[in-house]
Chains A and B, each alone.
Chain A
Amino acid sequence: MKRYLKIALRQLAREKLYTLLNVSGLALGIACCLMLGLYLWGELTYDRHHVNHERIYRIATEMKFGDGHSSELAITSSPLGPMLAGEYPEYFKSYVRFRDASRPTPVLLRHDDEKAYWDHVYAADENVFDVFTHEIVYGDPHTALAKPGSIAISRRMAQRYFGNENPIGRTLTTDGGRPLNVTLVFEELPENSHLRYNALIAYKGRGAEVPADITARLQQLLNMGHFEYTYVELTDGADPREYPRLSQAFYEKHMMVALKTAANLEWRSWIEPLADIHLGAGLEYDLPHGNRIYLYAFAAVAAFILVVACINYVNLATARAARRTRAIGLRKILGAGRATLIAQFLGESVLFALLATVLGVVLVEVLLSLPAVSALFGKTLTLDLFGRPWLALSVLAFGVCVGLAAGLYPAVYLSSFMPLTALVGRYRSGGLRLREALVFIQFAISIGVIACTLLMSEQMRFIASIGLGFDKENRVLLTLRDRDLVGRESLIATELGKQPGVLGVATTSFIMGRDIPHGTGKVQNNDGAMTDLDFSLLFVGDDFIPVMGIELVKGRDFSRRLLTDVGSTYIVNETFVRRMGWDDALGKRMTLGGGAFSGPVIGVVKDFNYKSLHTSIEPLVIVRNGDGNDDRIVVVSIAPDGIRETLQHIQKLFAQLDPIHPFEYTFLDEELDRLYVSEERLMKLIGIFAAICILVACLGLFGLAASATEQRTKEIGIRKVLGASTLAIILLLARRVLMLIGAGAIVASIVAWLAMQQWLSGFAYRAALNPAYLLLAALGAGAVALLTIALQSRRTARADPVAALRYE
């Protein structure tokens, strides 16, 4: 054993180029696999840290409308959980509701002078710490949220306000002046939790209880107006497949009459296992979640790089056989059995792979410590082999497997030489067909991945360039956060409008790109009858349509002077008009909020994309805000020149108007760009890995060219004597490979084309697939390959032909 190790190491040291090419290729492949493996592991183990995760489910609901449209929602109404649990105690052990208190605008919490905005603050039922697994730092999890006005906070939040002391019993105050009593501190939730919160407030009081009154109860049961998620824990004997039956019975008992008969709506609900939510189907109003397709893409790319690296090993090992054939033949003459030789060669390849594994691990450690890499993955990945011996063992086992996989064919091939080959004749370059087939595979993979990258970037450019139907550039978003400020919104808007550099000011309750609420209502059709329709609802204040640059195609905008415009006149989009089949939209009546609001349509706007471009435009109703108590968003349109000065003016003004809150602003275009973060990330990652893929393939090609040149030295000499130019020689050496790359390109193009069509189907707006990109990928790969071969064979091709002939 030691002996073979020694010999193998000597072999590695002797053939430095070969070793370098092989080990670096394998190391790169292994490093990519490790990193993507860590990423995948994180994605696939979401929410598994909850001890009861196998019994916990989230309720998802669907509303089906009379016209065949339906919405699948991640949110539920408030009474659904308590009512279900109350009616089927043998099935549901408990329920936990999370109502998002920080959407659409973050919660401001203060303690003494310390104040900060917090996202991900939920009101939760008191048993949340019994159902879900938390690491508790301070406090009693069983009673923490039992009393109204209690708040459980994360360690990070505790540190922010109270330093390292125990904050139990201390008070945090909300923006509205409501005191919250800190009753518990929990450790930061693991990064792979789909629902991550900074604080939980006791879900008590108004809205939390199920109303006793039947009408009120029904109304609440149908009200999906809050961002409220309901989780249930099933009893031990409960079968999750039973749930649809229970849900249906519940629907028929409580909701069917009101929905079906009165509104021609159907309701349905189902449960999603906790651990599946992260990679589940996209539901409306869901929390940010992963995407299975992207995981498959990552896994495929990682596997590709490894395959390409293993192919290098096979190719270089068999191509180099010429050099070893004598030693192998001699060993056989001296009595070596085939099994002995196979073991020796496999040992060599395993050693190679282990060396590469060590290098790969080092590479991963270095890369993962770079902030740019974490940003690329969108999360922190850690290898931590010393802290996780099982992982270290798996990595080692992985290395051995790679070694065996890469070394198997070369070992079988090399050990098959007959002893006589050591003594007579020249070694016939065997295995050529196989090597060519493998080069073909390598380049097909590389070209495919590159083509996908190019096509994806084309789509992203298309998305960026698409007309949204409104202006997103130079729109600054500010938030008015308390009732007092919202009450003065017109004044604030007027003052802002006077600032230099400000072109226009509008207020609104919702803004494009963020969650926009859903509504249902009765709408008058051409015949005058009222029909049901579901649509998106956009509550806006003054001047929203002109300031956003939305085009009014018919009718008029809301008027500041007409009080009747508040809540009782409506502007709809073109899709709405088309869906209703209206001949003339103006004057058609509609009723919203179960009869609370009613009035005519006064205008029609051109369609604009108020959601991400993954979804197409739905019917939309724009309603004029009243003096609500919601937070308000102020949209300030500013001149493109002197943005910094303008912002300073605005900030100064705000410091006077609102001395309490820290000044915060965002740009609309930046917020909208965030909708495509996962695509951008996928594209970048795949782009980088595509580059690595082709790099590894070229490492192999470099080695192959080296051995081909070596074997053909005499031929090259003769050709040069007969007058061949250097270029002609290089082309001679590269011709076969270029043909293989061409063939690979054809296969890769077809696969890439189909894969990208699949990917594009996730977008409502798709760039036309441009075949030029496929050609570009193939030409690029061909050029890189030609360059590689030229680099390698240049010396031989240029050399004095006599020297080449003397080689024999």
Chain B
Amino acid sequence: MIIETEGLKKLYRTDLVETTALDSVNFSVDSGQFVSIMGPSGCGKSTLMHILGLIDTPSDGQYRFLGEDVSRYPESKRAAIRKRNIGFVFQSFNLIDELTVHENVELPLLYAKTSARERQAKVDAVLERMDIGHRRDHLPGQLSGGQQQRVAVARAVVHQPNLILADEPTGNLDSEHGAEVMKILVKLHEGGTSIVMVTHSPDNAAYAERTVRMLDGRILAEHRSGT
């Protein structure tokens, strides 16, 4: 089990209003599983992803990552787990504009204190795999959306994380480029990486082994492909 949550809650408070983004979510992902999460806007998918990705903390409940209860960890500890184990792919790519393709992909290795030679080799390999090596010295602004997302995926996987969190990875792409990205994710999954993906598209969700539906901060139903 790579991910396991129990009674996960997230409340947002302002002076007047309290909003429940997540309400007692019990959710788990086995190692090597590919899970997709579907649901309308504002149902809490993204909040769940942020908590699963250790970039946000739950208001209540438990979150065990690789068996370790991380729900009360401070940022420094979460950062340490994050950079070893998790890769992120975002709808809006979230590449750093002032860095080149190569530099963007290199970042996770840099922060993991990998040696320069090893970095070079790994970045080159992953860029080739994503078929984007010829664009390595370009800035993100000079690339098409599909290319940018391939770079983002490359960055997410370059340090060989156990888990990839993909938040609507095809949302900003046309169907052709979207399909390309999905193919890459499937390939990674076949290689043994766990993937959690948020999507609006039933077609994309179909690539996953499991699909979870959310509404108003709760998990409504679960559907396993093939069953």
Scoring B residues 73 to 115 as 1 if CB is less than 8 Å from chain A, else 0, what string do you get?
Answer: 0011001101110001010001011110001000110011000
A73 to B88, CA, bound (A): 83
A598 to B97, CA, bound (A): 96
State whether B79 touches A335 (Cβ < 8 A): yes
Q: Which of A331, A337, A423 contacts B50 (CB 8 A)?
A: A423
State whether A333 touches B82 (Cβ < 8 A): yes
State whether A337 touches B94 (Cβ < 8 A): no
- A residues 320-339 with Cβ under 8 Å of B? 326-327, 330-338
Contacting residues, chain A, for B80 (C-beta < 8 A): 335
Contacting residues, chain B, for A419 (C-beta < 8 A): 55, 75, 79
Task: Known contacts A420-B55, A423-B55; decide if A333 and B88 are in contact (CB<8 Å).
Answer: yes
State whether B56 touches A420 (Cβ < 8 A): yes
A71: interface (CB < 8 Å)? no
Task: Known contacts A340-B111, A424-B46; decide if A333 and B55 are in contact (CB<8 Å).
Answer: yes
B9: interface (CB < 8 Å)? no
- B residues 1-56 with Cβ under 8 Å of A? 46, 50, 53, 55-56
CB distance from A337 to the nearest CB of B (A): 7
- A residues 1-18 with Cβ under 8 Å of B? 3, 7, 10-11, 14
B155: interface (CB < 8 Å)? yes
Q: Which of B56, B75, B76, B108 contacts A334 (CB 8 A)?
A: B108
A418: interface (CB < 8 Å)? yes
State whether B112 touches A335 (Cβ < 8 A): yes
Q: Which of A11, A338, A420 contacts B98 (CB 8 A)?
A: A11
A10 to B97, CA, bound (A): 11
CB distance from A19 to the nearest CB of B (A): 13
CB distance from A89 to the nearest CB of B (A): 75
State whether B96 touches A330 (Cβ < 8 A): yes
State whether B94 touches A326 (Cβ < 8 A): yes
State whether B90 touches A332 (Cβ < 8 A): no
A411: interface (CB < 8 Å)? no
Contacting residues, chain B, for A340 (C-beta < 8 A): 111
Which residue of the partner chain B has the closest CB to A340? B111
Q: Which of B84, B94, B97 contacts A422 (CB 8 A)?
A: B94
State whether A337 touches B96 (Cβ < 8 A): no
Contacting residues, chain B, for A7 (C-beta < 8 A): 98-99, 103
State whether B79 touches A332 (Cβ < 8 A): yes
Task: Known contacts A420-B50, A420-B55, A424-B46; decide if A334 and B111 are in contact (CB<8 Å).
Answer: yes
A7 to B103, CA, bound (A): 10
State whether B98 touches A337 (Cβ < 8 A): no
Q: Which of A327, A337, A418, A423 contacts B90 (CB 8 A)?
A: A423
A327 to B103, CA, bound (A): 13
Scoring A residues 415 to 430 as 1 if CB is less than 8 Å from chain B, else 0, what string do you get?
Answer: 0001110111000000
Contacting residues, chain B, for A332 (C-beta < 8 A): 55, 79
Scoring B residues 156 to 184 as 1 if CB is less than 8 Å from chain A, else 0, what string do you get?
Answer: 00000000000000000000000000000
State whether B55 touches A335 (Cβ < 8 A): no
CB distance from B78 to the nearest CB of A (A): 9
CB distance from B90 to the nearest CB of A (A): 7
Contacting residues, chain A, for B46 (C-beta < 8 A): 423-424
Contacting residues, chain B, for A10 (C-beta < 8 A): 98
CB distance from B57 to the nearest CB of A (A): 10
A331 to B97, CA, bound (A): 12
A3 to B104, CA, bound (A): 12
Task: Known contacts A418-B75, A423-B90; decide if A335 and B50 are in contact (CB<8 Å).
Answer: no
State whether A334 touches B83 (Cβ < 8 A): yes
State whether B94 touches A14 (Cβ < 8 A): no
CB distance from B13 to the nearest CB of A (A): 14
CB distance from A624 to the nearest CB of B (A): 87
State whether B55 touches A327 (Cβ < 8 A): no
A336 to B98, CA, bound (A): 17
A327 to B140, CA, bound (A): 13
Which residue of the partner chain B has the closest CB to A326? B94
Contacting residues, chain B, for A11 (C-beta < 8 A): 98
Contacting residues, chain A, for B55 (C-beta < 8 A): 332-333, 418-420, 423
A227 to B99, CA, bound (A): 74
- A residues 331-359 with Cβ under 8 Å of B? 331-338, 340
A290 to B212, CA, bound (A): 84
Contacting residues, chain A, for B82 (C-beta < 8 A): 333, 335
State whether B96 touches A331 (Cβ < 8 A): yes
Task: Known contacts A418-B75, A420-B50, A420-B55; decide if A334 and B98 are in contact (CB<8 Å).
Answer: no
Contacting residues, chain A, for B99 (C-beta < 8 A): 7
Contacting residues, chain B, for A424 (C-beta < 8 A): 46, 50
State whether A331 touches B79 (Cβ < 8 A): no
Scoring A residues 526 to 537 as 1 if CB is less than 8 Å from chain B, else 0, what string do you get?
Answer: 000000000000
A418 to B107, CA, bound (A): 18
State whether A335 touches B96 (Cβ < 8 A): no
Which residue of the partner chain A has the closest CB to B84? A335
- A residues 416-451 with Cβ under 8 Å of B? 418-420, 422-424
Which residue of the partner chain B has the closest CB to A336? B111
A326 to B94, CA, bound (A): 8
- B residues 57-80 with Cβ under 8 Å of A? 75-76, 79-80
CB distance from A722 to the nearest CB of B (A): 26
State whether A337 touches B76 (Cβ < 8 A): yes
A670 to B97, CA, bound (A): 66
CB distance from A12 to the nearest CB of B (A): 11
State whether B107 touches A331 (Cβ < 8 A): yes
Contacting residues, chain B, for A336 (C-beta < 8 A): 79, 107, 111
Contacting residues, chain B, for A338 (C-beta < 8 A): 76
Most buried by B among A330, A336, A338, A340: A330
Which residue of the partner chain B has the closest CB to A11? B98
Contacting residues, chain A, for B107 (C-beta < 8 A): 331, 334, 336
A419 to B83, CA, bound (A): 12
A327 to B98, CA, bound (A): 9
Contacting residues, chain A, for B84 (C-beta < 8 A): 335
A253 to B192, CA, bound (A): 108
CB distance from B94 to the nearest CB of A (A): 6
Contacting residues, chain A, for B98 (C-beta < 8 A): 7, 10-11, 14, 327
CB distance from A546 to the nearest CB of B (A): 82
A338 to B80, CA, bound (A): 12
Contacting residues, chain A, for B90 (C-beta < 8 A): 423
Task: Known contacts A335-B79, A335-B108, A337-B111; decide if A327 and B88 are in contact (CB<8 Å).
Answer: no
A14 to B88, CA, bound (A): 27
A334 to B161, CA, bound (A): 11
State whether A334 touches B50 (Cβ < 8 A): no
- A residues 110-158 with Cβ under 8 Å of B? none
Contacting residues, chain A, for B83 (C-beta < 8 A): 334-335
A7 to B100, CA, bound (A): 10
Task: Known contacts A335-B82, A337-B79, A418-B75; decide if A423 and B111 are in contact (CB<8 Å).
Answer: no
CB distance from B109 to the nearest CB of A (A): 9
State whether A330 touches B79 (Cβ < 8 A): no
Which residue of the partner chain A has the closest CB to B78? A419
CB distance from B97 to the nearest CB of A (A): 7
A423 to B198, CA, bound (A): 15
Which residue of the partner chain A has the closest CB to B88? A333
Task: Known contacts A330-B94, A422-B94; decide if A335 and B111 are in contact (CB<8 Å).
Answer: yes
Contacting residues, chain B, for A333 (C-beta < 8 A): 53, 55, 82, 88
CB distance from B215 to the nearest CB of A (A): 20
Contacting residues, chain A, for B108 (C-beta < 8 A): 334-335
A335 to B75, CA, bound (A): 11
A326 to B96, CA, bound (A): 8
| Contact surface of B with A, Cβ cutoff 8 Å | 46, 50, 53, 55-56, 75-76, 79-80, 82-84, 88, 90, 94, 96-99, 103, 107-108, 111-112, 155
Question: Can you list 13 A-B contacts (CB < 8 A)?
Answer: A327-B97, A331-B107, A332-B55, A333-B88, A334-B88, A335-B84, A335-B112, A336-B79, A336-B111, A337-B76, A340-B111, A418-B75, A423-B50
Given contacts A333-B53, A336-B107, 13 further A-B contacts (CB under 8 A): A7-B98, A7-B99, A327-B96, A330-B96, A331-B96, A331-B111, A333-B55, A334-B107, A334-B108, A335-B80, A337-B76, A419-B55, A423-B55
